């Protein structure tokens, strides 16, 4: 399979403190990959390094797709929900990279944004201010924005955080839809069982790369044990899944 993104011995540091070291691997075209690891393992940093949002201190990130064809969903905590914008306008931001700063929205785009809101179950929410939404509704809006973005590569940072089971199922269905359309999807997640069920490939991080490949092999007990031994990994992720599954 054609590589879309390749990392070669990538390292990232914040104020000289290493957050990621020696990460090498390839995302193949149309792959569906989870990024797992304990809190502080460098998962968000990994996505940001791929996107060029943090400088790599060593190694290289090779991107074999136009930057405007990469969509990114940051963690909800990084999104300014007080920004005075309607739900429809927020979805329309997904067109921005195609339009550039001077392009205008046309009626076809507004219709596509409405279709996207329908697809995520938020018909009728068009004029609601973003700040009035629940966490799950906001995540649906952000998925609608990715739908209109029509990206080849989609990077999601903890897309199911603070989202209920029903919304998670709906959003997982969208992810499977993107995968079926031959898009390359990478998601930072915490729920190992969910990863085993839905994500064929996994990157397991613990400040360094523990393993990258087929999910069943990556999530072998020995690898989970190695990830757990990362300094500070005792702060078990979501429901204590690290100790429970690594045993
Ligand atoms: N902007 C920053 N400045 C300084 N240190 C940072 C910054 N961002 C992250 N770090 C540190 O880098 C390390 C990796 O952080 P990162 O957010 O990538 O981990 P993570 O695996 O995504 O964690 P979590 O599961 O808690 O979201 C942590 O020790 C974190 O404190």
**DSSP per position, 166-230:** HHHHHHHHHHHHHHHTT-EEEEE---HHHHHHH-SEEEEEESEEEEEEEHHHHTSHHHHHHHHTS
pLDDT confidence of residue 101: 62
Does residue 83 have its Cβ closer than 6 Å to ligand 1? Answer: no
Global confidence as pTM = 0.91
> Could you tell me the distance, in angstroms and rounded to a whole number, from the CA of residue 2 to the centre of ligand 1?
30
pLDDT confidence of residue 230: 77
Q: Are strands 153-157 and 58-63 parallel, antiparallel or unpaired?
A: unpaired
pLDDT confidence of residue 235: 47
d(CA 228, CA 112): 44
> Could you tell me the distance, in angstroms and rounded to a whole number, from the CA of residue 177 to the centre of ligand 1?
30
pLDDT confidence of residue 243: 44
pLDDT confidence of residue 124: 94
pLDDT confidence of residue 232: 61
CA 180 from centroid of its chain's CA atoms: 17
136 φ/ψ angles, rounded to the nearest 5 degrees: -70, -40
From the alpha carbon of 237, which atom of ligand 1 is closest?
25
pLDDT confidence of residue 234: 46
Residues of the chain with pLDDT under 70: 100-103, 231-247
For residues 180-194, b (16+ Cβ closer than 10 Å) or e, as one string? eeebbbbbbbbbbeb
Does residue 38 have its Cβ closer than 6 Å to ligand 1? Answer: no
> Could you tell me the distance, in angstroms and rounded to a whole number, from the CA of residue 81 to the centre of ligand 1?
22
The protein residue whose alpha carbon is closest to atom 2 in ligand 1 is 14
């Amino acid at each position: 399979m054609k590589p879309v993104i390749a990392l070669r011995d990538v390292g990232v540091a914040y104020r000289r403190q290493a957050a990621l070291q020696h990460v090498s691997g390839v995302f193949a075209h149309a792959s569906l990959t989870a990024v797992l690891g304990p809190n502080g393992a460098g998962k968000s940093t990994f996505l940001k390094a791929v996107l060029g949002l943090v400088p790599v201190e060593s190694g290289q990130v090779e991107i074999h797709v136009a930057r405007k064809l990469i969509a990114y969903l940051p963690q909800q905590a990084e999104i300014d929900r007080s920004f005075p914008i309607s739900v429809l306008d927020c979805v329309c931001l997904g067109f921005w990279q195609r339009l550039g700063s001077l392009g205008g929205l046309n009626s076809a785009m507004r219709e596509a944004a409405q279709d996207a809101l329908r697809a995520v179950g938020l018909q009728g929410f068009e004029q609601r201010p973003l700040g009035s939404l629940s966490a799950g509704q906001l995540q649906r809006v952000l998925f609608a924005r990715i739908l209109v973005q029509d990206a080849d590569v989609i990077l999601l940072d903890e897309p199911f955080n603070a989202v209920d089971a029903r919304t998670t199922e709906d959003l997982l269905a969208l992810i499977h839809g993107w995968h079926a359309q031959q898009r390359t999807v990478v998601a930072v997640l915490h729920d190992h069982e969910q990863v085993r069920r839905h994500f064929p490939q996994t990157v397991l991080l613990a400040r360094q790369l523990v393993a990258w490949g087929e999910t069943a092999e990556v999530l072998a007990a020995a690898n989970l044990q190695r990830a757990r031994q990362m300094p500070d990994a005792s702060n078990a992720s979501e429901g204590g899944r690290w100790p429970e599954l690594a045993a």
